[in-house]
Chain A
Amino acid sequence: MGDFFTVASLVFVVGSGIRLATPFLLAGLGEAIGQRSGVLNLGVDGVMLLGAFGAYWTIYETQSPVLGVFVGLGVGLVMGVVYAVITVGLKAEQGISGIGIFLFGLGISDLLFQKQVGTPFPIRGFGDWHVPLLSDIPKVGEMFFQHSVLVYVAFALVPAVAFLLNRTTFGLNVRAVGENPAAADSLGVSVARVRTTTILMANTLAGLAGAVLSIELGIFQQNLTNGQGFIAIALVYFGAWRPVGVMGGALLFGLVSATVLQWKTLGLVSGAASSLTAMAPAVLTILALVVISRTVGQPAALTRPFERGH
């Protein structure tokens, strides 16, 4: 039995939390962009699975993690086209379409895995990249600057997405389309074009999130994501549709998971308490959601297909 409040233990928990948060963050950022334009995509988890398998299989065949990342992105983009056709083109109901995408991703990723690979052979990813100078800072470097390059990419995307949404013309269009598509349309902004673009971005990021998962774990397995995509959606609500908020939610979720894991590793909790603490991340997220949903409104046109003249 060890002590949780040692420097080494806390340093590990922070690093662990950051690693766990990364896939949530990427998928959540994408979902946030989509939702800001009024598109709910419940299929994130399915797209993540496809991205994860695409990246895994590519690296399995070519041993190139870079190529794997691009395949993950590409798979996401393709799924984005599919989802855009269904929800923007055919104006189908977003909730059920998203569930369809999820089931599709769940089934196809496993089927392809069974047919093409079969046994979960390990693959090699990027390995940790120690940021020059910064990683040498005692403790801090260990917590923040000794991660896979994909972790840095994910966190660098937070200000990038915030800038996109708040400081660019495209971002203005996105926010307008998500709140009042009729107003945007009346000013000549193409609702369909804006939403198609955000869907492509959202799904590409979901594909990347999946790729990060399989590359970092070095493995693929049926239902590898284990519902992470759905948690990412909850974290978008948690983060009040803001990139920084989504990051906060992902980090909180990751850090709480890491803390609970560390407690168990150190033997501080066991038996029934172990089962209960395992629920902590989910319970915390739900509590925060309840509080936030009372104070912040979702994009007014979320899940509503747009048709001119209605």
Chain B
Amino acid sequence: MADHTVPLLELRGITKRFPGVLANDDVHLDVLPGEIHALLGENGAGKSTLMKVLYGLYRPDAGEVLLSGEPSGIATPADAIDAGVAMIHQHFMLVPTLTVAENVALGLADNGMLLDTTAVAGRIRELSARYGLHVDPSAYVWQLAVGERQRVEIVKALYRDCRLLVLDEPTAVLTPLEVDELFVTLRTMAADGVGLIFISHKLDEVLALSDRITVMRDGRVTGETTPGQTSKGELADMMVGRAVQLAPDRPAADVGEVRLAVDGLRVMGDRGLESVTGCTIEVRAGEVVGIAGVSGNGQRELAEAVAGLRQPTGGTVAIDGTDVTGQHPSRVRAAGLAYVPEERMRDGVVGEFTVAENLILVDHDRDPYCRRGLLRLGAIADACRDLVARFTVKTPSLETTTSNLSGGNIQKLILARELSGEPRVLVAAQPTRGVDIGAAEYIHRRLIDERSSGTAVLVISEDLDEVLALSDRVAVMFAGRIVEVMDVADATVERLGLLMAGTGVEEVGAA
């Protein structure tokens, strides 16, 4: 790196307060031209706030933002674009009903009265070729897979001649193969002199991609280092502020009888197409089976169909030998299923309810919570206090509105509720997505404990590291079916990556 050049971006002493929270506390960060600078930190560490300050969405209480040594003067997203700053948000800022070219053309300063997408499309093709970003300008965004959508976002930034690009958790939704492709593109951009801020909590990727790493915790910078000088363990410790065990201890499995048997299951997706196309998998007592796969290959529909939330069109689901195919969720639960849903705010809790109300959501009509149709508030409070303590849910009180808790604590709350019933089978979908490392560490430990105590555990995750850390057996789901199941000892990232991308799978679709 050319150390003598003026930094492209310099954040000096940024402080941002919200009522009751110091989101950024005297934060310094600089990015050189052509540098890939990783910003590492847990949820709530202040990364997003910092980036919103940079992008003009927040005004800092103290400190200044310099671009190429000059005050940035950015007060709105339009200013940021003019200054050559682009941001790719975790939730893509795309309009699904518009074409790729229209999405790119949106808001361009040199648009005339009439829309001319042909010129835009031409330049998109140019950029695609140069940076290895394959996109079809005339395709509608809703038709695109997640990886393609991300490429559209990058094209948008390149089209606007960005000098500084911020990427917020860009790899969360990609297959390993796509991650590699993304990194090639980002390195090409860096070679062209673009400065990149890469926000992530995936330590391997940060180490593999970046030139420099800044770690944040509780609104402050807790360390700045380079990949050559540090290790995964050290980075994790800097993020969490204490020693972290990244992979849970997994005692030898004591596998018993089949508890969950899914056979030839077929399920329709939301768009009326078949999403699960004949899925077969078994989970035995005392083992964790992890399902790896790229988002949108039928995992969500599979989980929902098993839990009774979605009506299958074919095949069977059995729990402990009892056929529960297409039964009401309450019957499925009665058969012994516990379910940690992917969309925890939508399907896992009622956000407006209190912590206590959510804890008894499943069992509120039963002893000891309810007698003769009346809730027994004393018994409920006792049980909830116990659960909150046992599962280390951080909440001001049992009466706190659940939506005010952090993602990690809400997930612990759901886990507390689901495991309190001593289930026979536990299905956990994306158990640590959007959850900070500390909570993820805890959740992983609880899942392993549950498995070791004899429950059959099915984990569905798009995070390969998570699948590999938890599973005894790994299954790969592609195009609505399980394409291969292997022992975790045989599962490598490379092999899984190929299977997840659909390569190496003979005969897909026909059934």
Contact = CB atoms under 8 A, between A and B. Distances in A.
A187 B52 CA distance: 14
A187 B95 CA distance: 12
Interface string A147-182: 000000000000000000011111111011001101
Nearest to A301: B95
A173 B78 CA distance: 14
Contacts of B111: 169, 172
Contacts of B112: 169
Given A184-B107, A186-B89, A309-B52, A175 B98 contact: yes
Contacts of B115: 166-169, 171-172
Contact of B113 (A169, A300, A309): A169
Nearest to B88: A186
A188 interface: yes
A185 interface: yes
B96 interface: yes
13 contacts: A169-B115, A172-B102, A172-B105, A172-B106, A176-B98, A176-B103, A176-B106, A179-B96, A180-B93, A183-B103, A186-B93, A187-B77, A188-B109
Given A184-B107, A308-B57, A172 B98 contact: yes
A302 interface: no
B292 interface: no
Interface in B409-425: none
Q: Which secondary structure characterizes the binding site on chain B?
A: loop
Contacts of B77: 185-188
B81 A188 contact: yes
Interface residues of A, number: 23
A264 B114 CA distance: 49
Contacts of B102: 172, 175-176
A183 B95 contact: yes
Interface string B77-99: 11001100001010011111110
Nearest to B91: A182
Contacts of A170: 113
B95 A180 contact: yes
A184 B109 CA distance: 13
A189 interface: yes
A179 B103 CA distance: 12
The 9 closest A-B pairs by CB, nearest first: A188-B78, A187-B107, A183-B93, A169-B111, A189-B107, A186-B93, A179-B95, A188-B107, A176-B95
B143 interface: no
A29 B458 CA distance: 52
Contacts of A175: 95, 97-98, 102
A176 B106 CA distance: 8
Contacts of A309: 52, 57-58
Nearest to B55: A186
B52 A184 contact: no
A168 B106 CA distance: 11
Nearest to B78: A188
Interface string B239-264: 00000000000000000000000000
B84 to A, nearest CB: 13
Contacts of A172: 98, 102, 105-106, 111, 115
A175 B156 CA distance: 18
Contacts of B106: 172-173, 176, 183-184, 187, 189
B81 A169 contact: no
A167 B89 contact: no
Nearest to A299: B97
B114 A179 contact: no
B211 to A, nearest CB: 27
Interface in B98-129: 98, 102-103, 105-107, 109, 111-115
B397 interface: no
Given A176-B102, A180-B93, 10 more contacts: A167-B114, A168-B113, A179-B97, A184-B106, A186-B89, A187-B93, A188-B81, A300-B97, A308-B57, A309-B52
B392 interface: no
Contacts of B114: 167-169
A219 B237 CA distance: 80
B76 interface: yes
A191 to B, nearest CB: 11
Contacts of A300: 96-97
A23 B357 CA distance: 52
Contacts of A168: 113-115
Contacts of B156: 187
A174 to B, nearest CB: 11
Nearest to B156: A187
Nearest to A186: B93
A309 B51 CA distance: 12
A182 B98 CA distance: 15
A308 B89 CA distance: 14
Contacts of A185: 77
Contacts of B87: 186
A168 B81 CA distance: 22
Contacts of A180: 93-96
Contacts of A166: 115
Contacts of A169: 105, 111-115
A188 B76 contact: yes
A189 B98 CA distance: 15
Nearest to A295: B272
A166 B99 CA distance: 12
B103 to A, nearest CB: 8
B313 to A, nearest CB: 18
Contacts of B105: 169, 172
Contacts of A176: 95, 98, 102-103, 106
Interface in B213-235: none
B151 to A, nearest CB: 16
Nearest to A181: B95
B351 to A, nearest CB: 15
Nearest to B81: A188
Contacts of A179: 95-98
Interface string B361-383: 00000000000000000000000
Interface string B48-79: 00001000011000000000000000001110
Interface string A269-310: 000000000000000000000000000000010000000110
Contacts of A184: 95, 106-107
A294 B76 CA distance: 39
B78 to A, nearest CB: 3
